[in-house]
Amino acid sequence: MTSNIQKPRKAVYFFCADPAKDPVAHSCFEASKRLYKLIDAGFEVDGHPVLMLEDSAGNSLYYVRINDVLSHDYAKYLPILNERFSNFDFAGLVNWHEGKNAPDAILTVHTTGDVVSGHFGASAPALTRSLMLAIEENRKLAGLEGFTTISEATHWSGVVYGGSPELIPRFPVPLVDIEIGSSPASWTNQAAIDVVARSLPVVFEAAGAEANLRVLLCFGGVHLEASFAQAVLNTKDEYALAAAHILPNHWIVEGGYDSPDGLEKLDACVKSVKGGIHAIAFHDNLKGAYKAQLRAFAERLAVPIFKHQALRQPQSLPIW
């Protein structure tokens, strides 16, 4: 007889301990200590004791402080990740969001990968979705009306700091960035910090729709593409949708995804998704050559492909 009981799972969250390097992580860690009774896990990283929390279902959440932002010195931390956390189910890097044209007052989540080179970190769509739903629910409960919960395109900030994208797949655990953006006023907003801190421990609790979940590979659009985020946030238990990776238009073009090499990158992307995908959704601003490549790829995978406008009526998608 097959048991329906979910075995306990483990997640780990990383926080840069230096506020001069990361204006959000240390505050979120302190909020987590204030909100929850974190206990000593029995080991240290960078001289900081690792703390942990066990939820009512027996799932374990680990809180790890480090001296730098994880992705900014990935070569240093990768051996530690694989020694201590390679058998975990989920990982998150808590940090800040900014950019020249970045919208303010946002709570973001994104998967890890370098779209241009075609190196993708593992993706656990159900858990990424679960975390986004938890953030959105806690945002509403906190009355944080000025903030928006949104997903970002798949990326890895290690590239900016000289890191090799080839390192990304060497950590087998799905790793997402969890960010508050995009100004000092938002980074220090205590209500926003508390929303993130309250959401981290419930990543497994909010994953109740896993059995009915349909996973999308999302292409095109801008870096913060609202249509893909809303497809996740607007579908709860019925017609539940999750995004595996989100590949925006500018990096698809730069990465040559209309070429044979681009097809290999698409293969690598799909192989990184735990449990695979059910469909491909693309933004209609993609040029014809990229749409043709995606359609051929979808046919090879035997999955449906449709425009992003179809996400507005999830019950009508050809995936149920």
Predicted local confidence at residue 72, as pLDDT: 97
Q: What is the pLDDT of residues 144-157, one digit of tens each?
A: 999 999 999 999 99
Q: Report DSSP state, residue 118.
A: T
Mean pLDDT, residues 119-132? 97
DSSP H or E segment with residue 39 = strand 39-45
Asked whether 95 and 179 are in contact (CB, 8 A), the reply is: yes
Provide CB contacts within 8 A for 267, sequence distance 6+.
none
Mean pLDDT of the chain, nearest integer: 95
Strands 113-114, 119-120: pairing is antiparallel
Is the confidence at residue 7, as pLDDT, over 90?
A: no
Instruction: Give the residues across from 113 on adjacent strands.
Output: 120
pLDDT at 123: 98
Given a cut of 50, whether residue 23 has pLDDT beyond it is: yes
In this prediction, what percent of the chain has a pLDDT beyond 90?
A: 92
What's the whole-model pTM score?
0.96
Q: Please confirm whether the linkage preceding 272 is cis (ω < 30° from 0).
A: no
Determine contact, residues 138/233, Cβ cutoff 8 Å. Answer: no
Nearest to 241 by CA among 151, 135, 140: 151
Strands 90-97 and 175-181 come out as: parallel
Q: Give, in degrees to the nearest 5, the angle at Cα 237 between 155 and 220.
A: 30
Residue 2's pLDDT band, with cuts at 50, 70 and 90, is: very low
